[in-house]
Structure 1
Amino acid sequence: MLNDENIIESLLVDNFTPEVSVLINHELETILNQYSTTDRAIILAKEYYGYQYTEISELLNMPVSTLKSRVFRMRKSIIQRRQSNES
């Protein structure tokens, strides 16, 4: 089972077969499309592009504390959705 802190990073690492990668990417895309545009931008900037909280804060004019809590909630939600899809 994947660690909560590293789930998205682990999923984006290219150590899967092409077929599994396609399925995971589709699953992540489906999950991310359920978020608002702002939330998608936040999670992608943080987890995929590697921006720091302070950089995202400046770009979106949002307090760092708000960003951290939103990222935490989204990570938890993504984990729960993936686990329910696996059952």
Structure 2
Amino acid sequence: MANIKSAKKRILISEKKRKINVSMRSKVKTFIKKVLISIKNNRMQEAQKNFKILQPILDRSVSKGVIHKNKSSRYKSNLISKIKKIKNI
């Protein structure tokens, strides 16, 4: 454990930020799963609705530094291509 007051404070702050980051990552994963379940069940309208909700969540997590922008782009690209394939079936 740290002896310096600023180091103790830094530990508290980093723990608080870690909890926020874990929560944000969990939210992203939850909405990705919702989109994937909609795709699996061939519900295009529901998949598109969930994807529209997911996009700003991904963008927010990128701007806060929780996930990398390329990872966000990869998620969006893969999901939108899967949604488009529903239409072709």
Determine which structure has greater relative contact order: mean sequence separation of CA pairs < 8 Å that are 6+ residues apart, divided by chain length.
Answer: 1
Q: Which has the larger radius of gyration?
A: 2
TM-score strictly above 0.5: no
Q: Given the two structures, how large is their TM-score scaled by the length of structure 1?
A: 0.35
Q: Given the two structures, how large is their TM-score scaled by the length of structure 2?
A: 0.34
